[in-house]
Amino acid sequence: MKISNIITIFTFLLVVLNLSCDEEEKIVEVPVEVPVEVPTDCAPSAPRGIDADNRDGYVIIWWAPNPESDIAGYDIYRGDSLYGDYIRIGTKLDEDPDPYEYSFEYEEPVNGEQYYYGVIAFDEGNNESEFSYIVTATPRYEGFIRLYEAGVNPDASGYDFSTISNAAQSYDSATTNLWVVEDAEGVQRFMVDNVTDSIQDYGYVDNFDLINYSPTEGWSPSGSAEIIKSHIYVIRTGEIEPHYVKIYVTFTAFEWVEFWWAYQSDPENTDFSPAPVPGMIERRSDEGRLVITPSYGDR
């Protein structure tokens, strides 16, 4: 049954009163109660700030809290394609403690497969919002490795990201994507095969997952980059159907370097963590399932 709440709003009206004190006209503030009827069947606004982080074998979906005071929770949906069926994969209650406002971890995706996610808010009266913007996510492999300078330990100076391992190999192996050298000035450098592979220094960051995508331009013309601690580097491997990689240098030492790596096994996919796709609307089918169709205007 639909009901309404009567919310009393206190406003202050300026009332002109003629007072006899010194025969002066004075303006005083008099509180007046004004009842305002607010219906409880109003649906919440669609969740905003949707984002997704690709991880190794799972995805984290983030969003901003809704502004309504009677929000009860959020339903998270996933689709295997941009348009078509979306299945509800979980619910996040508003009362759940979470230091990052709102997030949801989904641990069933397959690395290298692209998925689509959206969120619906619902309030204490079970009124549901419209579907949020949709974000895509493609989980990727990640790992950690130490490489030595080629002049020191050539058999452990290179790496082939497609092996999805943490096993170093020779810098001159035919499959090596990246290796470490010390140049004539004594500077440690990452090297790639400048014919098939590309590299660029993406700069300083304090979090490996802050870099969400790979650029498609800006590659080093020399096929090399100076190794700097706490810098992110982006690599493109292969001329046909290239794969994209990011690495994060955690430690540099005399003769070796250590870094985290994330390899996107989906060819030509530049997403390490993707951006939202606007302009979607939904048509409901059965419970727990949505059908998404194109919209020709941003919400």
C-alpha 87/C-alpha 84 separation (Å) is 10
C-alpha 189/C-alpha 181 separation (Å) is 5
- The encoded tokens of residue 237 equal 């491997």
Protein fold of 51-139+274-294: Immunoglobulin-like (2.60.40)
Within 8 A by CB and 6+ apart from 218, the residues are 200
Quote the pTM value: 0.69
Within 8 A by CB and 6+ apart from 4, the residues are 37, 38, 39, 40
Q: Is there a contact between 12 and 29 (Cβ–Cβ < 8 Å)? A: yes
Query: Which is nearest to 132 in space by CA: 54, 52, 70, 39?
Result: 52
- The encoded tokens of residue 238 equal 């292969």
pLDDT tens string, the chain, 299 residues long: the values are: 444 443 333 333 333 334 344 444 444 455 555 443 445 678 899 998 888 888 899 999 989 989 888 999 999 999 998 888 899 999 999 877 664 567 888 888 899 999 999 999 999 999 999 888 888 888 899 999 999 999 999 999 999 999 999 999 999 999 999 999 999 999 999 999 989 999 999 999 888 877 777 888 899 999 999 999 999 999 999 878 899 999 999 999 999 999 999 999 989 888 764 444 544 555 565 566 677 665 433 32
Where do the structural domains in the chain lie, given as residue ranges? 4-39, 51-139+274-294, 141-264
